[in-house]
Amino acid sequence: MIQHQLTAIVETAVDGIILMDSRGKVAFFNRACERIFGYSAEEVVGGNVKRLMPQPYQDEHDQYLLNYQNSGVRKIIGIGRQVLGRRKSGEIFPMDLSVGEVAGRGEVAYVGILRDVTERVRADEQRERLIEQLAKTNAEQTHFVHAASHDLREPMRMITAFCGRLAKDYRDRLDAKGGEYLSLVIAASEHMNRLLDDLVEFARLSNDAERGSLFDANLVVDRVIESLSNSIQRFDAEITHSDLPNITANPIRFERLMQNLIGNALKYVAMDVRPSVRIEAEREGANWRFSVADNGIGIDPRHFERIFEPFKRLHARGRYDGTGLGLAICRKIVEGFGGEISVRSSEGKGSTFIFTIPADGHADED
């Protein structure tokens, strides 16, 4: 009864199972093997297992068995690895093979368990090709953006320079409408320069690998607050933060992330409201969870995903200046850290931007 059950198990196994003697003569060939190789058991049992191998493995097989039996040095037996098999049709295919040694009654036998991994290997190869194509495409896009930005900056510098000279030397000769037009041209050229800067940074974030280091987030946030001191004083804003952790990330990218988030908090505030920003961080599982909360104009929940897309603005530029890339850059930075960014908000009640950064063994967990 037990023998019958064992035979049924082996015959219905998904993986191929082959039993052979010390000379490689096949004694058992299950149904999965028949399906994989295209041979019937009757065609294989009694013959040498090397008929299932392509060259040069056929010629090397007998010598391998002999070397193993004489030296005990294993290459497949007791180890397992990916090898090539040969079907009855002549097709060569990849398979995972593990071989176990069975000793009893003075005889040695080998049991091979194999699996056809053609589809897995094909999928791996397709994935590798796709990764290579994406890397090439990203590199080409980054190069294009840099080249386009470089070519556009020269005429923009000319426009900015001559607008400056017009403002300096001829403003008193312009009427009110002419002065207004000149101011609009100057503002547009400044906006274009900021847009080119953000485009280059956004393209670089898509292509550059992250290089992280351990740093004190308190120092970086304090540096950002100092860099925004003119805006803070102009709006009489209040910016505070809790005791922030040491984190492992790219400190320059983290600084840009905080500049964008704090800068937005100062910008998107109602006219009669004093801006207030609070930055906090806490450990949440395997991540540091940062939050940047403000008392600004808020965001309709319908637009939570849209605001992180490039050039998706919720307000006219005349009302709130910006390039439309700030939050898209924030998301790229956070995703480059291996984290996620989201927002909690409602119109008229402020916003809280939340992002995570993976913690590691070097981070301060206090």
Identify which has the larger pLDDT, 193 or 257: 257
Q: What are residue 89's phi and psi, to 5 degrees?
A: -70, -10
Taking only the tens place, the pLDDT of each residue in 301-328 is: 887 888 888 766 555 555 556 556 788 8
Taking only the tens place, the pLDDT of each residue in 148-183 is: 666 666 777 778 787 888 888 877 888 888 888 888
Strands 81-86 and 351-358: unpaired
Report the C-alpha gap between 88 and 195 in whole angstroms.
63
Burial class (CB in 10 A: 0-12, 13-18, 19+), 24: middle
Report the C-alpha gap between 148 and 164 in whole angstroms.
24
Can you point out the beta strands (E) in 146-286?
213-216, 238-241, 246-249, 276-284
User: The pTM is what?
Assistant: 0.51
Here the tokens at position 249 are: 């990330």
Give residue 185's pLDDT. Answer: 79
* pLDDT band with cut points at 50, 70 and 90 for residue 56: confident
Residue 271, pLDDT > 90, answer: no
| Top-confidence range, 6-20, 117-131, 215-229 | 215-229
First CA to last CA distance, the chain: 63
* pLDDT band with cut points at 50, 70 and 90 for residue 362: very low
All structural domains of the chain:
2-116 (3.30.450.20), 118-208 (1.10.287), 210-366 (3.30.565.10)
Taking only the tens place, the pLDDT of each residue in 324-354 is: 678 888 998 998 889 999 999 988 889 999 9
Give residue 329's pLDDT. Answer: 86
Taking only the tens place, the pLDDT of each residue in 60-112 is: 766 666 665 556 555 566 677 888 999 999 999 999 988 888 776 667 788 88
What's 352's DSSP letter?
Answer: E
Write down the H helix ranges in the chain. 2-12, 31-37, 41-44, 57-71, 118-170, 176-207, 217-227, 229-235, 251-267, 326-337
Q: Name the residue among 352, 329, 353, 351 with its Cα closest to residue 341.
A: 353
What percentage of the chain reaches a pLDDT higher than 90? 30
Residues in the chain: 366
Report the C-alpha gap between 24 and 106 in whole angstroms.
17
User: Residue 225: CA atoms inside 13 Å, Cβ hemisphere, count?
Assistant: 16
Handedness of CA 134, 135, 140, 143 (dihedral sign): positive
Here the tokens at position 211 are: 């290089």
